[in-house]
Amino acid sequence: MKILITGGSGFIGSAVVRHLIENTTADVMNIDKLTYAGNQESLASICRSPRYHFDRVDICDRVSLDRVFSEFQPTHVMHLAAESHVDRSIDKPDAFIETNIFGTYSLLEATRHYWCTLNETKRVAFRFHHISTDEVYGDLEGMDTLFTETTSYAPSSPYSASKASSDHLVRAWQRTYGLPTLLTNCSNNYGPYHFPEKLIPHIILNALAGKSLPVYGDGHQIRDWLYVEDHARALVKVVTEGSVGETYNIGGHNEKKNIEVVFTLCSLLEEFAADVKPAGIAKYEDLIAFVKDRPGHDVRYAIDASKIERELGWKPEETFESGLRKTVEWYLNNREWWQRVLNGEYKLSRLGEKA
């Protein structure tokens, strides 16, 4: 296999790259624009592998995409490059429209052009896997329903609307042009190498610094949490074994209120980091501060992942409790990584880039 991954220096993308290099024999080409969320240091453990390749490419740049396809000759494409932070999409939606919609269109066209040049055997074996989010489905009503692969789309934010648009483009290219695509929608990811703007790392790092722990509204928004390494395994399972034209929902079977997540993190920090607690703080949970809710905030997401378990034999290995313990321990043991993110030094890293 020769797998082209877009956004392979991001949180989920880097987990997929590490999994492929460490657990398969595939050659991997990572193309990434290296926006603020792309971090080459997340790939330090595998960047010297002869099977790993990197090219700094914007997926909106069709000329560069055509060059990469021609030179690398992929057998599979895994499309993870995206703007993904809801708050940022509310403040500046234009980047989300550009990357998530136009960028996906550009990538689909570059892929289609390349795919059409392949011989029949290679065309049949080729796969384009688009990685999306459960946020395209919008809100769930009540506590008994789950998102399935046939749930109607009802995006609430500029981010989720842009991802919904990209999902529709992928399905249209499969229906109209016959491009062999697969699509996955996942629940909230967490784990090592998560950019600090997201809830779990933000709470951990603020607590260690003695800063307030902001919780939107009353904190009763419910999310289904998926450990990122479980997600990486699922994505590779889909791209190698999934059926063309199918959608697979990937979830962790871990519904938690945001406030529950914050209290659990505080409890774990009391267990693992009591000796480094900032001066004047009796308990980490004393730092919790409720703030004004974000506009259009969805109340509950929850994934029905029975299809991928039934058809492909995947299910998460980590419970929320085991995954969160691993996550807290990782941040405590990898201070240099996140300190370089906070001070901006990670942007200067050239790990994996050609000399």
- The residues annotated with a catalytic role in the active site are 134-135, 159
Cα-based angle 328, 52, 339 (whole degrees, multiple of 5) = 30
Phi (first) and psi of residue 121, to 5 degrees: -60, -45
As to burial, measured by CB atoms within 10 angstroms (0-12 exposed, 13-18 middle, 19+ buried), residue 198 is: middle
335, 273 in Cβ contact below 8 A?
no
Query: 85: closest CA among 152, 168, 162, 31?
Result: 162
DSSP-derived secondary structure for 84-139 = --HHHHHH-THHHIIIIIIIHHHHHHHHHHHHHTS-HHHHHH-EEEEEEEGGGG-P
Work out whether strand 222-227 and strand 255-257 pair parallel, antiparallel, or are unpaired: antiparallel
312: which 2 tokens? 């492909």
Spatial distance between the Cα atoms of 4 and 2, rounded to a whole number of angstroms: 7
Spatial distance between the Cα atoms of 181 and 78, rounded to a whole number of angstroms: 10
Query: 89: closest CA among 194, 160, 186?
Result: 160
Spatial distance between the Cα atoms of 342 and 155, rounded to a whole number of angstroms: 31
Work out whether strand 2-6 and strand 247-250 pair parallel, antiparallel, or are unpaired: unpaired
